[in-house]
A and B are shown apart, each in its own frame.
Chain A
Amino acid sequence: MKQRRLLRFHGLRRPRVRQTWNKYNLYNLVRLRTPYLNAKTFFQQKWIAKSYTRGYHGEHIKEYQWERMFSRRPLSAVNMDPAYMARRDGSEQASGRGSGLVGLDPSEKWSKNRGNLNQPTPYMQMSFAPMERRLDIAIFRALFASSARQARQFVLHGAVKVNGKKMLHPGYLLNPGDMFQVDPKRVMTATGKPDRSKPKALKVARPRLYKPDAAKAAKKEAAAGAEEDLDEEAIRKQNLEFFEELKKVAYSASNRYRGRHLQAKDKQYLRKMVKEMKSVLAKAVKPPTTATATDGKTEKGDKKGNWFASKIEAMLDYLSLTPAERQNKSMEQHVNDQSAKPASEEASSDESKSKSNKLVIRSKLWKQLSSQQRKNILKAFQGTGGRKARGNSLPYRPRDWMSPFAFIPRYLEVNHRICAAVYLRHPVARPGLSEVPTPFSPKIAQLAFNWYLRRS
């Protein structure tokens, strides 16, 4: 069902207080006074009161729906003090001629039922209590959404669970004991400051992608060359070209991909680059000998960063070497792995002891890169591509003009850490207090109640 919304939702000329945390609404709330109604007819008074109150309480709900929900019997509760109950049976109130003895000392302990305010019960402020049972309004009351309409949208978009099951009806009437949960991410976006600082895309010329076809051809040649001892310098040149390309990518990434919003083309480009890097890497660390594999595993176990670092280092080394040098190196490595395995283990254990998360890459080429470029290469390589939630808490900044609206009525128990709340019971009126949050004076509330008495 499409929801109609007034154009002047937060108007200044004909102000209506709404269920939102808007600053216009705050201003209207500060200006809200009980209108002068003595010159009006009784019908006009009731009409005005109704229009004021309905503008706040569920203005997104149709009038006939609300009329069906309205109850002319508001709920109320009284506290009974157990100490009084244990000592008196109530007969002292009816003694004498039926209204208690005059001489009874009120200062005497247990002479009165304590725990209630000595004020009349504001039943008239309870007219809109059935509205507070609605799921969307309960979500707004639990401070999970910045307006009742937003809360309604949460439900419709499937972000709300009731007792662990997805609930798609904003008009679901909560039963006492029902727990509702809202997706924390949505809550934090809704109640947080809107992020208006969109990162500006710097106009950097997109570097030409390192051509995979040419590279592959070159590699094939290189492989052939390794066998036939052909032009090694050419291969070195090719590799260095690739490295230059890598540098360019890192540079452009540091400028262009600084923000969060990557365009589809940029993503494609990055992905291609990563793929290319991986193919080179596969060659660099091939074949995975048992020693390196186990090393990789253990290091992956305690430190992911180092594992990546070692791989990148291997790749860079590969790029800087000629096939002959490579062969020599692999021989050396093999010997080293055989002999110095415990040493490497020691080193890794030392590193884990020091608990430094810094990457250790000792490559000449790596040193030529700036820190930002290195970071970007690592990011692209690890495939994170963006921010990661640190730990398991989400970042948050509250929105402006929020604090004057922050209160939680007593019929809800809210746990904001998990964005869940339990609807404990229906809202009740107690002597002097009513649990329905309504911004209107008792006079207006009474007139509105009388308006709906007509129909129920």
Chain B
Amino acid sequence: MPPRIHSSSCCQSRQLLNYLEAAPPISISASPLALQRLAATSTSSSSQLQCSRSFSTTPVTEARQPTRQRREFLKWINDYKEKFRTQPNNGKTNYISQLVTVSDYQDVYEDQPFPNNPNFRSEPVLSSKARHMIWKDVMREGLPLKAVSAKYQVDMRRVAAVVRMKQIEHYMYKKKMPLARTYHDVIMSMLPRAYLTPGEKPFEPINDIHVHSYTMQQLFVPTAESREFTRADAAKAFGEHILPPDEKMRIPELVEMERNIASGMEPEKAYAIFKETAAQSERAFAEAQKAKAKHQADKTLRVDNGRFEFRFEKVNADDVGRNGRSRTAVGWRYGQPFTDRRRGEVKIPTKVE
């Protein structure tokens, strides 16, 4: 059995070997520099506590250290855990814009969740009180959606969505289905909130109109200097089918009210008229919907056999469109193969009703 070499002595001898190999053969003879280096290595190796791998020259402590980036990350996490780990408790938001105050030579605003993007802001959400107010006005007071929208400066679609979900909430409460109340409270404590109180700044623009791509071009339209070139004229200049903004307004009754006020009517009276006309338009819309549903119901013959309800509708088999592939066409047609099994056809539904 060969004599065993102790690990520490092994390390030392290995380092000596390293040194000898690394050095050019001429310097073996006697170089003061080489001797110095030898001394340095021997002292450093003696300062080592232990050497777990007999051929490794790397000190153990160095080898096990995390990378610089990881160390920096851990330090950052440790420094800011008080700030960002928990939810803010003072009714404020907790975005990193508190930390990154300047980005791309621009000041970062407090409501910027992404410091680099000044165009995206975290805008307030409706508080639960505000949502209750909206729901009450629509369901209890019976105000038209347009009037509620104008009253709180909340988009009409949002008003409708709030009421719709509130109704579901009431239903779930009544049926004793589990509600995520604590979750709601926690999330709300992290978000900027709007209470829709009178002094508050308007929640969102309620009269926005879509910008048609035709109107994004620059036109040169020669007109007489004496001519009044209005919005309607501008729309016509962009294209025959382009509507002027006046016809695209979501709540045209609001413009009418302002017109009445401008012509000298008392604001209260103008507002009353606005409410009345808004309610009328809503009623007309509801009636139209009802008539549509009735028309559809009249068209279909329903046969209920207890298990299934068969619905029959009259269709014209020849009504297949220009190329025989009309979306509304019914049935298989000779010489027109279906495309639904073709490669790459998307089967995801496009709407859910």
Chain A residues proximal to chain B, CB less than 8 Å? 12-13, 23-24, 26-27, 29-30, 32-34, 73, 75-83, 85-87, 89-91, 94, 96-98, 115-116, 122, 125, 143, 162-163, 165, 167, 169, 171-173, 175-179, 184-185, 187-188, 191-192, 389, 392-396, 398, 400-410, 413-420, 422, 424-425, 428-430, 432-445
Query: Is the beta-carbon distance between A393 and B182 smaller than 8 angstroms?
Result: yes
With A81-B207, A85-B249 as contacts: A414 and B125 at CB distance below 8 Å: yes
Query: Is the beta-carbon distance between B246 and A408 smaller than 8 angstroms?
Result: no
- Closest chain-A Cβ to B203's Cβ sits at a distance in Å of 10
Query: Is the beta-carbon distance between B113 and A82 smaller than 8 angstroms?
Result: no
Which residues in A have their C-beta under 8 angstroms from that of B202? 115
With A85-B255, A403-B87, A422-B164 as contacts: A76 and B207 at CB distance below 8 Å: no
Which residues in B have their C-beta under 8 angstroms from that of A94? 223, 229, 234
Which residue, B103, B177, B204, B211, has most C-beta atoms of chain A within 10 A? Answer: B211
With A85-B255, A185-B178, A437-B120 as contacts: A420 and B168 at CB distance below 8 Å: yes
Query: Is the beta-carbon distance between B178 and A80 smaller than 8 angstroms?
Result: no
Q: How far is the CA of A419 from the CA of B179 in the complex (A)?
A: 8
Query: Is the beta-carbon distance between A115 and B205 smaller than 8 angstroms?
Result: yes
* A-B CB pair tally, cutoff 8 Å: 267
- Closest chain-A Cβ to B214's Cβ sits at a distance in Å of 11
Query: Is the beta-carbon distance between B179 and A392 smaller than 8 angstroms?
Result: yes
Which residues in B have their C-beta under 8 angstroms from that of A23? 77
With A13-B69, A91-B229 as contacts: A178 and B169 at CB distance below 8 Å: no
Q: Which one of A401, A410, A420, A425 contacts B84 once the chains associate, using CB atoms below 8 Å?
A: A401
Q: B121 at interface (Cβ–Cβ under 8 A)?
A: yes
Q: Which of B238-262 contact A (CB under 8 A)?
A: 245-246, 249, 251, 254-259, 261-262
Query: Is the beta-carbon distance between B180 and A416 smaller than 8 angstroms?
Result: yes
Query: Is the beta-carbon distance between A184 and B180 smaller than 8 angstroms?
Result: yes
Q: B319 at interface (Cβ–Cβ under 8 A)?
A: no
Q: How far is the CA of A419 from the CA of B349 in the complex (A)?
A: 23
- Closest chain-A Cβ to B339's Cβ sits at a distance in Å of 17
With A23-B77, A83-B258, A395-B182 as contacts: A91 and B228 at CB distance below 8 Å: yes
With A396-B186, A414-B125, A419-B180 as contacts: A441 and B116 at CB distance below 8 Å: yes
Which residues in A have their C-beta under 8 angstroms from that of B114? 29, 437-440
Query: Is the beta-carbon distance between B169 and A417 smaller than 8 angstroms?
Result: yes
Q: How far is the CA of A153 from the CA of B99 in the complex (A)?
A: 33
With A82-B255, A392-B178, A394-B178 as contacts: A442 and B183 at CB distance below 8 Å: no
Which residues in A have their C-beta under 8 angstroms from that of B117? 125, 438-442, 445
With A406-B93, A418-B168 as contacts: A33 and B119 at CB distance below 8 Å: no
Query: Is the beta-carbon distance between A400 and B85 smaller than 8 angstroms?
Result: yes
Q: Pull 8 A–B residue pairs with CB atoms less than 8 Å apart, ordered by A.
A: A83-B258, A89-B231, A96-B225, A116-B205, A172-B348, A403-B94, A416-B184, A430-B205
Which residues in B have their C-beta under 8 angstroms from that of A78? 208-209, 211
- Closest chain-B Cβ to A66's Cβ sits at a distance in Å of 14
Considering only CB atoms, which chain A residue lies closest to B157 in the complex? A424
- Closest chain-A Cβ to B178's Cβ sits at a distance in Å of 5
Query: Is the beta-carbon distance between B177 and A392 smaller than 8 angstroms?
Result: yes
Which residues in A have their C-beta under 8 angstroms from that of B100? 30
Query: Is the beta-carbon distance between B169 and A175 smaller than 8 angstroms?
Result: no
Q: How far is the CA of A176 from the CA of B210 in the complex (A)?
A: 14
Q: B187 at interface (Cβ–Cβ under 8 A)?
A: yes
Query: Is the beta-carbon distance between A410 and B123 smaller than 8 angstroms?
Result: yes
Which residues in A have their C-beta under 8 angstroms from that of B168? 415, 418, 420
Q: How far is the CA of A33 from the CA of B105 in the complex (A)?
A: 11
Q: How far is the CA of A445 from the CA of B120 in the complex (A)?
A: 12
With A97-B225, A162-B352, A179-B164 as contacts: A416 and B187 at CB distance below 8 Å: yes
Q: B351 at interface (Cβ–Cβ under 8 A)?
A: yes
Considering only CB atoms, which chain B residue lies closest to A393 in the complex? B181
Which residues in B have their C-beta under 8 angstroms from that of A432? 119
Chain B residues proximal to chain A, CB less than 8 Å? 67, 69-70, 73, 76-77, 84-88, 93-96, 99-100, 103-104, 113-123, 125-126, 128, 131, 155, 157-158, 161-162, 164-166, 168-169, 172-173, 176-184, 186-188, 190-191, 202, 204-205, 207-211, 213, 223, 225, 228-232, 234, 245-246, 249, 251, 254-259, 261-262, 348-353
- Closest chain-B Cβ to A433's Cβ sits at a distance in Å of 6
With A82-B207, A169-B348 as contacts: A406 and B187 at CB distance below 8 Å: yes
Given contacts A30-B99, A406-B191, 7 further A-B contacts (CB under 8 A): A79-B205, A392-B177, A394-B178, A396-B183, A401-B84, A404-B113, A408-B125
Considering only CB atoms, which chain A residue lies closest to B349 in the complex? A172
Considering only CB atoms, which chain B residue lies closest to A191 in the complex? B183
Considering only CB atoms, which chain A residue lies closest to B207 in the complex? A80
Q: Which one of B178, B204, B249 contacts A82 once the chains associate, using CB atoms below 8 Å?
A: B249
Which residues in A have their C-beta under 8 angstroms from that of B88? 403
Query: Is the beta-carbon distance between A406 and B204 smaller than 8 angstroms?
Result: no
Which residues in A have their C-beta under 8 angstroms from that of B254? 82
Query: Is the beta-carbon distance between A169 and B349 smaller than 8 angstroms?
Result: yes
Query: Is the beta-carbon distance between A87 and B262 smaller than 8 angstroms?
Result: yes
Q: How far is the CA of A408 from the CA of B123 in the complex (A)?
A: 8
Considering only CB atoms, which chain B residue lies closest to A91 in the complex? B228
- Closest chain-B Cβ to A130's Cβ sits at a distance in Å of 14
Query: Is the beta-carbon distance between B229 and A394 smaller than 8 angstroms?
Result: no
Q: How far is the CA of A429 from the CA of B261 in the complex (A)?
A: 32
Which residues in B have their C-beta under 8 angstroms from that of A429? 119
- Closest chain-B Cβ to A187's Cβ sits at a distance in Å of 6
5 closest residue pairs by CB, A with B: A86-B258, A407-B122, A422-B161, A90-B231, A79-B205
With A91-B229, A125-B119 as contacts: A415 and B166 at CB distance below 8 Å: yes
Q: How far is the CA of A167 from the CA of B234 in the complex (A)?
A: 45
Considering only CB atoms, which chain A residue lies closest to B204 in the complex? A410
Q: How far is the CA of A96 from the CA of B116 in the complex (A)?
A: 42
Which residues in B have their C-beta under 8 angstroms from that of A27? 73, 76-77
Q: How far is the CA of A429 from the CA of B99 in the complex (A)?
A: 27
- Closest chain-B Cβ to A92's Cβ sits at a distance in Å of 9
- Closest chain-A Cβ to B205's Cβ sits at a distance in Å of 4
Which residues in B have their C-beta under 8 angstroms from that of A80? 207-209, 245, 249
Which residues in B have their C-beta under 8 angstroms from that of A76? 210-211
Considering only CB atoms, which chain A residue lies closest to B220 in the complex? A98
Q: How far is the CA of A407 from the CA of B95 in the complex (A)?
A: 9
Which residue, B173, B208, B230, has most C-beta atoms of chain A within 10 A? Answer: B208
Considering only CB atoms, which chain A residue lies closest to B350 in the complex? A173
Which residues in A have their C-beta under 8 angstroms from that of B155? 424
Query: Is the beta-carbon distance between A402 and B231 smaller than 8 angstroms?
Result: no
Q: How far is the CA of A416 from the CA of B228 in the complex (A)?
A: 52
Which residues in B have their C-beta under 8 angstroms from that of A91? 228-230
- Closest chain-B Cβ to A1's Cβ sits at a distance in Å of 12
Q: How far is the CA of A154 from the CA of B86 in the complex (A)?
A: 25
Which residues in A have their C-beta under 8 angstroms from that of B121? 433
Considering only CB atoms, which chain B residue lies closest to A90 in the complex? B231
Considering only CB atoms, which chain B residue lies closest to A24 in the complex? B73
Query: Is the beta-carbon distance between B228 and A89 smaller than 8 angstroms?
Result: yes
- Closest chain-A Cβ to B147's Cβ sits at a distance in Å of 14
